Amino acid sequence: MRWEKIISVVHAHAEGEVGRVITGGVLDVPGKTMFDKKSWLERRGDSLRKMILFEPRGSAAMSVNLLLAPTTTKADAGFIVMESTDYPPMSGSNAMCVTTVLLETGILPMKEPVTKVVLDTPAGLVTATAECRNGKCKRVSLESVPAFVSHLDAVVEVGGLGSITIDVAFGGAFFAMADAKALGFTIEPSEARDLVSVGRKITAAASEQLKVKHPKNSKINRIAFTQFGGPPRGVKRRRRSTVVIEPGRLDRSPCGTGTMAKLAQLSARGQLKVGETLYHDSITGTYFIANIVRKTKVGQYDAIVPRVSGRAWISGLFEFGHDPSDPFPEGFTLSDTWGDGPIGAPVI
């Protein structure tokens, strides 16, 4: 075996959504803040993302998180999310995976019955509270950056659909919030391919036709995802949603930042009050438990501080390497799975 480098990775998932965690092989990346470090990776260090996520070592239906030392003394650890196409500022399911890996592998000390971990992310500080028992993180709750709605009842023109009405909400990234029922969907697994096809069109149209910019970070300025939301279900405050992620797949979990965006949307519409519980179901049958901690402001926007909790599991330990004779040091993608292909990916 002739490897030029070795990257240690813990394979984990949160309620079905894979979030690998890089625990060794990368010392640091340049930048004063975690957002600076994310930007550096995008511009100059993207080979790491492609090596771990692209075929033949990865697949479209996963993310990877790079653990780093925090850039502020207020945090215990930092991490950067790397997805198939880009680097979102924050991800709830990935934060659950990161917290579980930090504690269950002993990188940070686990204290039973509760361990608090402050995470330094490109979107800001996120406080994770882990319920711990017998060396296991039973559930991770995230109190994240403020979420808000930037557009209510915005009309966009979508090819093949005509005019549709959406909301736009920020929960760590900007989401186009579409009404699943109005578009003929019930959010069932059999609809997955059609949801992806329609959702990608909505994301592209909304991103082109609606301007967004985070008041505290002007570089967060695009609509990255579409979330299909269903009506209330049963006697509890329960809803099912699914989020379309590039290059063309559904989040297997209820989506952490998508759940935070849902809380902001429901609050803006007067459908959820501070302290009330939302049970947010995924298309795979898993769920997050969420609530609004308090109301706040972000620039000109009325906002909420969201809390979302879910479960994560470690399912594998890997060491990835590159043999100099391997023709795919940065992987590849094929259009049968990856569509037109993510940014920076060679489509063969």
Catalytic pick among 91, 141, 144, 207: 91
Cα–Cα distance between 181 and 186 in angstroms, integer?
6
pLDDT tens sequence across 4-44: 889 999 999 999 999 999 999 998 999 999 999 999 999 99
Q: What domains are there in the chain, each with its CATH number?
A: 6-143+313-338 (3.10.310.10), 147-308 (3.10.310.10)
> Quick one: 63 exposed, middle or buried, by C-beta within 10 A (0-12, 13-18, 19+)?
buried
- Confidence label for 242 from pLDDT (cuts 50, 70 and 90): very high
Q: Does 216 score more than 80 pLDDT? A: yes
Does 91 participate in catalysis according to the annotation? yes
**For 30, which DSSP code?**
S
Cα–Cα distance between 36 and 51 in angstroms, integer?
21
Mean pLDDT value across residues 230-251: 92
Q: Does 346 score more than 90 pLDDT? A: no
141: CB partners within 8 A, 6+ apart: 128, 129, 130, 131, 307, 308, 309
Contact 99, 117 (CB under 8 A): yes
Quote the percentage of the chain above a pLDDT of 90: 91
Closest CA to 137 of 97, 107, 176: 97
Confidence (pLDDT) at 340 = 73
